[in-house]
């Protein structure tokens, strides 16, 4: 399903939005995070998928591969850690941000506790950052989060709390725990009265965009279309804002894709305001199984996203297989359930002969983001028939 957004504008990046998210602060975040040994110091690969582009009938298809950002396996390694650095500096302004994740202030931070709800990747990234800095960390997960994902978070020393209900219930529980103990919530979604920390999470995602612009510039290329995953909207806001500031009125066309049963951004576009999903919010794309739109993210998405789109779980599974097996002669890629949403949408539209509905033709240069690798290894192998290690071994060095 596709929905054209009548509010999308091809103008210069608005000054009011630049006060919240901007390239200068994204570059600062990049510098601060660069000292964390857990992150790949070279950034992440930028794959040119020439075979898939030819099969789709387009000029170019590029994939920014966040599976290689760190052992955490996803783009979330940039968001929660960036927010934690900013939060610590707010309370301890004399600390050197580049030394926080080197553990040099563990004694000072031993009582500075943080808590968050998660579907998996955000909580894992926060737990790892808290462990590195010395902050106590509690992570709230909901009924649909697998045991495999829970163990991956707990491996970084977090105190785990599991509740019944869905992701939105876990957000409420994290807020309750924080108030009870006087701890701080580090969430990637915003709500009334809570915007500063989600803003810093989104700004961390701008690091991806900064790297990608540099990689595009090295090839003297500019994409005509950028497709990003939905979720609560923070990723899309953090990345699209950077590209909008970079290219101004000549920005690429922006498309957001979500699971059909977790369509909060799609519904927000229909209603013209932050809205809730209408489906079960239970998707194999666990990182996108979100029921409530982030209010601060919507401020960026409403004036910039040209199309909102929905895909089914099977679309994602098929795209995982395609990337894993290097179909069309392309480099095999470890694309997780949520990571492949952009490719899944392209495949779906191509099958339905609808690529032109979002302005894609033989001259189009499309950029998508593989936002996670095999963050649930057993599930990944079940879907693709391969392990992440087998795929990496086949990649062109």
* pLDDT score for 174: 93
Grade residue 89 by pLDDT with cuts at 50, 70 and 90: very high
Q: Which two tokens stand for residue 249?
A: 């009125």
H-run or E-run covering 201: helix 196-218
What's this model's pTM, rounded to 2 decimal places? 0.93
- Please tell me whether residue 140 adopts helix, strand or coil conformation: strand
* pLDDT score for 397: 54
Task: List CB contacts of 389: < 8 A, sequence separation 6 or more.
Answer: none
- CA distance to 39, 59, 214, 365, 366, per residue, from 221 (Å): 27, 12, 10, 9, 11
* pLDDT score for 263: 96
* Catalytic residue selected from 30, 65, 68, 119: 119
Q: Residue 108 pLDDT more than 90? A: yes
**199-248 per-position pLDDT tens digit:** 999 999 999 999 999 999 999 999 999 999 999 999 999 999 999 999 99
What phi, psi does 326 have (nearest 5°)? 60, 45
Grade residue 145 by pLDDT with cuts at 50, 70 and 90: confident
* pLDDT score for 146: 85
Q: Residue 144 pLDDT more than 90? A: no
What is the rounded radius of gyration, in angstroms, for the C-alpha atoms of the chain?
19
* pLDDT score for 149: 87
Percent of the chain with pLDDT over 90: 87
Q: What is the mean pLDDT of residues 331-354?
A: 97
Q: Which of 143-147, 173-177, 252-256: highest mean pLDDT?
A: 252-256
β-sheet bridge partners, residue 2 = 309
Q: Are 265 and 230 in contact (CB under 8 A)?
A: yes
* 41-73 per-residue burial string, b: 16 or more CB within 10 A, e: under 16: eebbbbbebbebbebbebbbbbbbbbbbbbebb
Q: Which two tokens stand for residue 126?
A: 């926060």
* Catalytic residue selected from 30, 64, 68, 76: 76
Q: Residue 27 pLDDT more than 60? A: yes
- Please tell me whether residue 116 adopts helix, strand or coil conformation: strand
Grade residue 167 by pLDDT with cuts at 50, 70 and 90: confident
Q: Which two tokens stand for residue 288?
A: 């996108």
Q: What is the mean pLDDT of residues 313-335?
A: 97
For the chain, give the number of residues.
397
As a whole number of angstroms, the distance between CA 78 and CA 296 comes to 18
The CA-to-CA distance between both ends of the chain, in Å, stands at 38
**60-85 per-position pLDDT tens digit:** 999 999 999 999 889 999 999 999 99
Q: What is the mean pLDDT of residues 47-68?
A: 97
The mean of the pLDDT values for the chain is 95
Which domains does the chain show, CATH number per domain?
A: 2-71+197-394 (3.40.50.1100), 76-193 (3.40.50.1100)
Residue 76 falls in the annotated catalytic set: yes
As a whole number of angstroms, the distance between CA 219 and CA 242 comes to 19
* pLDDT score for 281: 87
**353-375 per-position pLDDT tens digit:** 999 999 999 999 999 999 999 98
As a whole number of angstroms, the distance between CA 374 and CA 381 comes to 8
As a whole number of angstroms, the distance between CA 207 and CA 57 comes to 30
Residue 394 falls in the annotated catalytic set: no
* pLDDT score for 191: 80
Of 351, 311, 338, nearest to 75 by C-alpha is 338
């Amino acid at each position: 399903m596709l929905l054209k957004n009548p509010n999308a504008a091809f103008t210069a990046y608005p000054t009011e939005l630049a006060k919240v998210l901007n390239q200068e602060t994204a570059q600062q975040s990049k510098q601060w995070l660069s000292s964390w040994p857990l992150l790949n110091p070279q950034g992440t690969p930028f794959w040119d998928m020439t075979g898939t582009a030819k099969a789709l009938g387009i000029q170019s298809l590029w994939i920014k591969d966040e599976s290689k950002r760190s052992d955490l396996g996803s783009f979330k390694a940039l968001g929660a850690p960036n927010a934690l650095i900013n939060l610590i500096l707010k309370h301890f302004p004399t600390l050197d941000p580049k030394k926080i994740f080197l553990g040099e202030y563990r004694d000072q931070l031993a009582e500075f506790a943080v808590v968050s709800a998660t579907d998996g990747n955000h909580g894992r990234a926060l737990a790892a950052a808290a462990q590195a800095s010395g902050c106590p960390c509690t992570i709230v997960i909901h009924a649909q989060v697998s045991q495999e994902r829970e163990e991956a978070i707990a491996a970084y020393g977090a105190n785990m709390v599991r509740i019944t209900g869905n992701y939105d219930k876990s957000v409420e529980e994290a807020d309750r725990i924080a108030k009870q103990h006087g701890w701080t919530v580090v969430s990637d979604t915003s709500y009334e009265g809570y915007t500063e920390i989600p803003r810093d999470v989104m700004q961390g995602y701008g690091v991806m965009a900064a790297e990608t612009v540099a990689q595009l510039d090295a090839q003297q290329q500019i994409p005509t279309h950028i497709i990003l995953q939905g979720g609560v909207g923070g990723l899309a806001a953090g990345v699209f804002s950077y590209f909008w500031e970079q290219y101004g009125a000549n920005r690429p066309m922006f498309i957001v894709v979500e699971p059909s049963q977790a369509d909060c951004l799609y519904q927000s576009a229909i209603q013209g305001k932050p809205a809730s999903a209408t489906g079960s919010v239970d998707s194999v794309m666990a990182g996108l199984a979100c029921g409530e739109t982030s209010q601060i993210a919507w401020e960026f998405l409403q004036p910039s996203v040209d199309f909102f789109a929905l895909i089914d779980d099977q679309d994602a599974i098929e795209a995982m297989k395609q990337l894993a097996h290097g179909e069309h002669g392309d480099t095999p890629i470890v694309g997780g359930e949520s990571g492949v949403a952009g490719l899944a949408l392209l495949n779906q539209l191509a099958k339905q002969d609808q690529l032109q509905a979002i302005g894609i033709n033989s001259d189009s240069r499309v950029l998508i983001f593989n936002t996670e690798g095999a963050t649930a290894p057993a599930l990944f192998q079940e879907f693709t028939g391969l392990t992440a290690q087998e795929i990496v071994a086949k990649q062109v060095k």
